[in-house]
A = this chain, B = another copy of it.
Amino acid sequence: MKAYLDNNRASKIDVQVMELMQQSLVEHYADPRARHADAIKSRTPLAQAYEKIKASIHAKDNDMVTIGSSVDELHCRLLISIYVNSVITGQKNQIILSASESDTVIETAEYIASQGCRITILPLNSDGVVDTDMLKQTITTKTALVSITMVDAQSGAIMAIDEASQICSEHGVPLHSDASHAIGKLPIDVQMLDIDYLTLSSETVHGPTGVAMLYIKEGIELPNLIQPNNNLVGIVGLGKALELAVDSQAFEMEDTRELRDALEESIREIEDHLIITPWALRTPNTLLVGFKDVSSDALVWELNRYGISVSGEKGRALTENTASDSIYKHTLVEFALSRYTSQEEMDYTIEKLKKSVEIIRTERAR
């Protein structure tokens, strides 16, 4: 028996996605920009993929979608482009990011800060989300960009992007959101959210690795941002994966939610645990938990011995200010299910998790 519960990092490819990619690998080799019949043959699957990508987030026909190899890559390019086009020129003077952004993004923000741009990082509260009051206090009309993750990758906590969007539009500030861990888990409508930029990637929705997209609202121009990405097969895979993710969201995700909730129930039976994932406003597939006296590394390793794949996390919502938080620092493990996770996998995981926590605590006590 095995269980793969690291789906917020990467997920198994959907067989329909794979078949479409395989067909494209064989048939759509010609450069779609060439001017012969073979090139024209490559254009249809590409156009269909872009349509699916746009449909998955309710983008309009005239909105732009640009492809990159990862959300981090696209997000970093967006930051640098905003910095070059709005900050260096003296029009704006600050970029606001949620603490939920990835290490790579935070590093790029630090680089921009070292060049003289004010960077404000909004911390996560005990529910693992950005407090929009904090945004209100820091945003000004000179803010160049606000970037808030739609769903925290580690805890699955859902941020109040609608409120953030309203605050941003009151100040005339563009808003970006990384929707990697939201897509397929909750409905996304860029028009309703009135969002300017949105990124998401393929690997968390049973698509291929190494392909991601940046949505840019109609009318926005970002010089030097867009470089051609000709990963035709990857784009085809992304399109299909997003279509399937959105289709499965309503039904299959409810089954996933039940399995996740069952895991949570059984974790509540284990002594001295901390559940970071909030009770309300959370995605159906994620649970971030810590066990006192059980380090992340030890638990990841122990579970791996039983064929259970999970990742240890830092837990960005930990404040390090309370006694409880300091006890659970370095103990957090993320369980990330997918629509492929089965009841058997979950039962097996619950059994082995209880055993593993006990073994590690016993070893430690000795």
Q: Which residues of A contact B (CB under 8 A)?
A: 4, 6, 9-13, 18, 21-22, 25-26, 29-31, 34-39, 67-70, 72-73, 76, 104, 111, 203, 208-211, 224, 227-235, 297, 300-301, 303-304, 307-312
Contact = CB atoms under 8 A, between A and B. Distances in A.
Given A22-B18, A69-B69, A10 B37 contact: no
A309 B38 contact: yes
A29 B230 contact: no
Contacts of A18: 22, 25-26
Oligomeric state, in copies = 2
Contacts of A210: 229-235
6 contacts: A18-B22, A35-B311, A36-B300, A36-B309, A209-B232, A210-B234
A83 to B, nearest CB: 13
7 smallest beta-carbon distances between A and B, as pairs: A210-B231, A36-B309, A9-B31, A69-B229, A36-B304, A10-B31, A38-B309
Given A30-B309, A69-B69, A231-B234, 10 more contacts: A6-B34, A9-B31, A10-B29, A37-B304, A70-B230, A73-B229, A208-B231, A208-B233, A210-B230, A231-B231
A81 to B, nearest CB: 13
Nearest to A310: B36
Nearest to A30: B10
Contact of A231 (B69, B72, B228): B69
Contact of A21 (B25, B232, B308): B25
Contacts of A104: 227-228
